Amino acid sequence: MDNKLKKLIQEAHEIIKPIMPEEILNNIEDYYIIDVRELDEVTKSGKVKGALNIPKGVIETTMKLGKEVKAEQPIVVYCESGNRAALAGKCLNEAGYTNIYNLGGFPDWVKAGGQIESAD
């Protein structure tokens, strides 16, 4: 990974608040959860139950979510390791969404005993 990309990822991690799987396991319905991995990754491993799969590239291109998502609504993003989630969260923050959390990696969710489902 080149230094410029490392710096972008570091800056994104500083902007987007981390959240532990255990913090949302019992109230997951209070969050709009976005899996920012590519569809082939989600198809292989599944996703957080109830999560919407919107790849990071789509978020970077559109910079908005559906009308049903309010700017202040708690949004949780995750990927495989947390880096793409941080970058996608930064894009959403720049688009006006103000309450974004980085769950980190999907393996963290699985390890914590979070419910998963297959890709839609």
Rounded CA-CA distance 37/15 in Å is 20
pTM of the entire structure? Answer: 0.92
The domains of the chain are located at 3-117
62 and 46 Cβ atoms separated by less than 8 Å? no
Q: What would the pLDDT profile of 22-78 be if each residue is shown by its tens digit?
A: 999 999 999 999 999 999 999 999 999 999 999 999 998 887 777 778 889 999 999
CATH of 3-117, one of 3.30.70.100, 3.40.190.10, 3.40.50.1970, 3.40.250.10: 3.40.250.10
Residue 93 corresponds to which tokens in the numbers above? 């923050």
